[in-house]
């Protein structure tokens, strides 16, 4: 636990509450339902929901569905699933499209105030007139239309009289502003497209800044947290909120009150923080979509994807993501973080929480020759070395075991501490064996290791304290359950797969080893686990039972992360 968090956003919130600016705070998480949420979104979710919870406030989940073309109910379901998985519950689920009528009334108000006008310039002309950083913009020839003409045209825009792109509604702010966002930005555009929520009721759709600021004001959002790229939009955000002034013009909210929405308007404050970015990952929704549709991965929830659905399947936990967000902290400095921060948070979270089990990924048979054939016993193992409360389990032991192939070497390299002919090794929790002999197949490959168990070295005996160089894990071949083991690794081989340099793209850097599927053996207590149970398979890594494919009869384990960082070694 990091104790009391005191980043600049929490400081603002704390002061606003202490000074009586707000009785309670309200935040929102406003994803656009045009794709799956990714690790970056987890940071926004942890801040929006987390800060609200810490200060006794509330947080809405708002689907920012103002853009009719590219939204899908599949995404909406996944977004809700992701927020709940992270352990948060929304105060109210909203759609920005719920507010279309209010946005419209507010636009008429702006027109009536002389703060907005209908422009007939084409998109290209608008761009041309807008100027650049070094050159001021020029006013549109339609800028000084009368209020009456503007109202008439805007109503006819709504009524569907004009083609897509023929006209826009623009805010009348300042064509000479040093901030290009203030050079009469568009508020509405014409788009004769059906909307999944409002059907064909509208053929004009509000632009992002306008819809976003007013949605915040409508919902009584006090602190509107967003990423740094919106810093330059803040003056426009404030302009929209102030000019429309919902707090003092409750009549604009009437369409919502009629639909049963509560009256909760407030003046929101936008606060920006830096985006979360990691090397070795590609996080833009557009590229993630391409990776899915081109079959580079098995879907949005492929365990190699940085989507929340993907990393969840990989075995990432809400605790690990929260730990990562806390460690990364909040700043106003965008940076590319090292992926080891993410993987380290997962290791630390799982080290504390995941029970230990034994599993063998690449099995080699070990026969204990001085135990009778068919010998079996049940050994008690602690589930967690540092947490007694995790209890213990029974692990079957017999004269016939599977060990990891790499734990035996016929010709051991220098410093090898595991099993070799004539050498001793400790079988974790069972006793010390000496290898007497091996059996090979026709190709000379070792297929069986034959050992004697030191009868004085069994658990609890004096001889168990005898020093041997290595300890290896094992499972009883007669009891172990065959399991599909999916060994996942990073999807890309280079830290910056996303640079598009030298004509190369992320496609050129796919890691051919990012998934290897092998057949291994696990102890019964691992196979029986419910889907999405995380374990440390001793000595080999953290694994999770697959959310969809695992069952006790046909176990499937996904490797979440190795025990140590094998990349930067
Ligand atoms: P992308 O560019 O990946 O498509 P986006 O910003 O368009 O992301 P939205 O659905 O609009 O995605 O995002 C919802 C919220 O999540 C926004 O408040 C946005 O600022 C925040 N967010 C998105 N990506 C990140 C990130 N990498 N780090 C932190 N917050 C993010
Ligand atoms: Mg967005
Ligand atoms: Mg986007």
343 shares a domain with 366:
no
What pLDDT shows up at residue 478? Answer: 97
DSSP 460-502: TSGGGGS--S-EE-EEETTT-EEEEEEEE--SBSSS-TT--GG
Q: End of a domain among 444, 472, 500?
A: 472
pLDDT attached to residue 323: 97
Spacing, Cα 569 to ligand 1 middle (Å): 33
For residue 501, indicate whether it is catalytic: no
Pairing of strands 269-273, 400-404: unpaired
Average pLDDT over residues 138-146: 98
Residue among 27, 31, 300, 310 to mutate when testing ligand 1 (max atoms within 8 A of CB): 31
Q: State whether residue 445 is helix, strand or coil.
A: coil
What are 270-323's pLDDT values in tens digits? 999 999 999 999 998 889 999 999 999 999 999 999 999 999 999 999 999 999
Task: Please say which residue of 440, 472, 504 terminates a domain.
Answer: 472
Q: Residue 541 Cα, ligand 1 centroid: separation in angstroms?
A: 32
Asked if the structure places residue 182 within a domain, the reply is no
CA angle 531, 316, 57 (to 5 degrees): 105
- The two tokens of residue 261 are 């929405």
In a domain, 513, yes or no: yes
Q: How far is the CA of 31 from the centre of ligand 2 (A)?
A: 7
Which protein residues touch ligand 1 with a CB less than 6 Å away?
30-32, 40-41, 43-44, 226-227, 275-276, 283-285
Together in a domain, 391 and 428 = yes
With 80 as the cut, is the pLDDT of residue 468 above it? yes
- The residue written with tokens 């005191």 in the block is 6
Q: Determine which helix (DSSP H) or strand (DSSP E) holds 327, and give its type and residue range.
A: helix 318-328
CATH number of the domain where residue 527 is located: 1.10.1160.10
Given strand 116-119, what is the order of strands in its sheet? 116-119, 168-171, 186-190, 204-206
Residue 51 lies in a domain: no
Catalytic residue of the set 32, 54, 149, 231: 32
Instruction: Read off the pTM.
Output: 0.94
The token pair that represents 488 in the structure block: 């996942």
Mutate to test the pocket of ligand 1, among 27, 36, 44, 336 (most ligand atoms within 8 A of CB): 44
Question: pLDDT band for position 568 (50/70/90)?
Answer: low
Based on the domain organization, do 365 and 350 belong to the same domain? Answer: no
Same domain (yes/no): 306, 378: no
Report the alpha-carbon distance of residue 377 to residue 392 in Å, rounded.
16
Report ipTM (2 d.p.): 0.95
Q: What is the pLDDT of residues 326-383, one digit of tens each?
A: 999 999 988 899 999 999 999 999 999 999 999 999 999 999 999 999 999 999 999 9
Phi then psi dihedrals of residue 72, to 5 deg = -150, 130
Pick the catalytic residue: 183, 285, 314, 515?
285
CA distances from residue 535 to 482, 491, 542, 559 in whole angstroms, order as listed? 16, 22, 6, 10
Q: What is the pLDDT of residue 505?
A: 87
- Alpha carbon of 232 to ligand 1 centroid (Å): 16
Torsion of CA 328, 329, 331, 334, to 10 degrees: 20
For the question of residue 32 being annotated catalytic, the response is yes
Which residue, judged by its Cα, is nearest atom 15 of ligand 1?
31
Cα dihedral sign, 529-531-535-539: positive
Can you give the pLDDT at residue 70? 65
Helix/strand/coil for 224 = strand
CB-side exposure of 390: number of CA atoms within 13 Å?
A: 16
Cα separation, 182 vs 196, in Å, equals: 31
Q: How many residues does the chain have?
A: 569
Calculate the alpha carbon distances from 387 to 170, 345, 459 in Å: 62, 19, 20
- In the set 275, 405, 428, 450, the catalytic residue is 275
Same domain, 363 and 468: yes
Is the per-residue pLDDT at 179 higher than 90? yes
Distance between CA atoms of residues 152 and 156, nearest Å? 6
Spatial separation of the C-alpha atoms in residues 336 and 22, rounded to whole Å: 35
Tell me: do 369 and 339 sit in the same domain. Answer: no
Does residue 482 carry a catalytic annotation? Answer: no
Write the CB contacts of 505 (distance below 8 Å, at least 6 apart in sequence).
none
Tell how far the Cα of 169 is from the centroid of ligand 1, in angstroms.
Answer: 27
> 514 with 540, same domain?
yes
Specify whether 290 is located in the same domain as 349.
yes
Selected residue with higher pLDDT from 393 and 569: 393
> Which atom of ligand 1 lies at the shortest distance from residue 33's CA?
10
26-29 sheet: strands from edge to edge: 26-29, 58-63, 93-95
Q: How far apart are CA 110 and CA 104, in angstroms?
A: 10
Pick the ligand that lies closest to the CA of residue 40.
Answer: 1
Residue 317 inside a domain? The answer is yes
Task: Report whether pLDDT(93) > 80.
Answer: yes
Taking only the tens place, the pLDDT of each residue in 36-90 is 999 999 999 999 999 999 999 999 999 999 988 666 889 999 999 999 999 999 9
**Domain CATH for 436:** 2.40.240.10
User: Closest Cα to atom 22, ligand 1: which residue?
Assistant: 41
Residue at a domain's end among 472, 495, 527: 472
User: pLDDT digit string (tens) for 523-561?
Assistant: 999 999 999 999 999 999 999 999 999 999 999 999 999
Beta strand 355-357 pairing with 534-537: parallel
Ligand approaching nearest to the C-alpha of 285: 1
Among residues 569, 19, 559, the alpha carbon closest in space to that of 311 is found at 559
460 assigned to some structural domain: yes
Residues 343 and 376 both lie in one domain: no
Kindly state whether residue 540 falls inside one of the protein's structural domains.
yes
Same domain, 314 and 340: yes
Mean pLDDT estimate for the chain: 96
Ligand 2 is a single-atom ion; what residues have CB below 5 A from it? 32
> Confidence class of residue 569 from pLDDT cuts 50, 70 and 90?
very low
The answer to whether position 6 is within a domain reads no
pLDDT tens profile 187-242: 999 999 999 889 999 999 999 999 999 999 999 999 999 999 999 999 999 999 99
For residue 275, give both structure tokens.
């985006």
Give the number of the ligand closest to the Cα of residue 63: 1
Looking at the 3D structure of the chain, how many domains does it have? 2
Q: What is the percentage of the chain residues whose pLDDT exceeds 70?
A: 99
Sort residue 491 into left (φ over 0), alpha (ψ -120 to 50) or beta. Answer: alpha
Tell me, yes or no, whether 494 and 444 share the same domain: no
Buried b (16+ CB within 10 A) or exposed e, 257-293: eeeebeeebbbbbbbbbbebebbbbbbebebbeebbe
90, 63 contact by CB (below 8 A): no
Instruction: Identify the domain containing residue 429 by its residue range.
Output: 359-472
Question: Is 310 inside any structural domain?
Answer: yes
Using CB atoms within 10 A of its CB, is residue 560 exposed (0-12), middle (13-18) or buried (19+)? buried
Q: What is the mean pLDDT of residues 166-173?
A: 98
Do 363 and 467 belong together in one domain? yes
For residue 500, count CB atoms less than 10 angstroms from its CB and return exposed for 0-12, middle for 13-18, buried for 19 or more.
Answer: exposed
How many C-beta atoms lie closer than 10 Å to residue 563's C-beta?
15
What are the helix (H) ranges across 90-205? 100-112, 123-130, 147-159
Judge whether residue 518 has pLDDT over 60. yes
Distances 543 to 12, 314, 486, 551, 554 between C-alpha atoms, Å: 41, 8, 9, 15, 16
Q: Using 50, 70 and 90 to split pLDDT, how confident is the model at 11?
A: very high
């Amino acid at each position: 636990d990091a104790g009391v968090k005191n980043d600049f956003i929490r400081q603002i919130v704390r002061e606003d509450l202490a000074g009586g600016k707000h009785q309670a705070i309200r935040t929102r998480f406003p994803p656009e339902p045009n794709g799956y949420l990714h690790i970056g979104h987890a940071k926004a979710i942890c801040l929006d929901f987390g800060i609200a919870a810490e200060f006794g406030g509330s947080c809405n989940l708002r689907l920012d569905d103002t853009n009719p073309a590219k939204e899908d109910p599949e995404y909406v379901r996944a977004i809700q699933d992701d927020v709940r998985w992270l352990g948060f519950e929304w105060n109210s689920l909203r759609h920005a499209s719920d507010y279309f009528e209010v946005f419209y009334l507010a636009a008429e108000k702006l027109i009536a105030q002389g703060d907005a006008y209908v422009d007939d310039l084409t998109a290209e002309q608008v761009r041309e007139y807008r100027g650049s950083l070094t050159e001021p913009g020029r006013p549109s020839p339609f800028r000084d239309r009368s209020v009456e003409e503007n109202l008439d045209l805007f109503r006819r825009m709504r009524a569907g009289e004009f083609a897509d792109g023929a006209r826009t509604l623009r805010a009348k702010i300042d064509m000479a502003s040093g901030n290009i966002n203030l050079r009469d930005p568009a508020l509405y555009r014409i788009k004769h497209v059906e909307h999944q929520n409002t059907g064909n009721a509208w053929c004009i759709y509000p632009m992002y800044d306008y819809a976003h600021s007013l949605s915040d004001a409508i919902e009584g959002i006090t602190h509107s947290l967003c990423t740094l790229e919106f810093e330059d939009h803040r003056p426009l955000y404030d302009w929209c909120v102030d000019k429309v002034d919902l707090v003092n013009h409750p009549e604009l909210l009437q369409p919502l009150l009629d639909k049963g929405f509560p009256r909760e308007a407030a003046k929101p404050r936008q606060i920006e923080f830096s985006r979360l970015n990691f090397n070795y990952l590609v996080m833009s929704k557009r590229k993630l979509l391409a990776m899915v549709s081109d079959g580079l991965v098995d879907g949005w929830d492929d365990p190699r994807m940085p989507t929340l659905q993907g990393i969840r399947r990989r075995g990432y936990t809400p605790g690990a993501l929260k730990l990562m967000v806390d460690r990364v902290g909040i700043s106003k400095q965008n940076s590319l973080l090292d992926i080891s921060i993410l993987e380290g948070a997962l290791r630390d979270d799982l080290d504390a929480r995941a029970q230990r089990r034994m599993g063998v990924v690449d099995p080699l048979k070990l026969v204990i020759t001085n135990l009778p054939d068919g010998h079996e016993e049940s050994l008690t193992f602690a589930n967690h070395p540092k947490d007694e409360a995790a209890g213990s389990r029974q692990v079957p032991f017999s004269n016939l075991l599977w060990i990891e192939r790499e734990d035996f070497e016929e010709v051991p390299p220098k410093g090898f501490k595991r099993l070799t002919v004539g050498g001793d090794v400790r079988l974790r929790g069972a006793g010390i064996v000496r290898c007497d002999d091996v059996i090979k197949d026709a190709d000379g490959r070792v297929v069986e290791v034959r050992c004697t168990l030191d009868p004085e070295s069994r658990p609890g005996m004096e001889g168990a304290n005898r020093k041997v160089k290595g300890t290896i894990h094992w499972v009883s071949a007669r009891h172990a359950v065959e399991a599909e083991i999916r060994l996942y690794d990073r999807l890309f081989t280079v830290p910056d797969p996303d640079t598009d340099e030298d004509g190369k793209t992320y496609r050129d850097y796919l890691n051919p080893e990012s998934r290897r599927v092998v057949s291994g053996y696990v102890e019964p207590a691992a196979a029986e686990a419910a889907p999405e149970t995380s374990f440390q398979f001793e000595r080999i890594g953290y694994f999770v039972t697959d959310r969809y494919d695992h069952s006790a009869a046909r176990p499937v384990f996904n490797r979440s992360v190795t025990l140590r960082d094998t990349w930067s070694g």
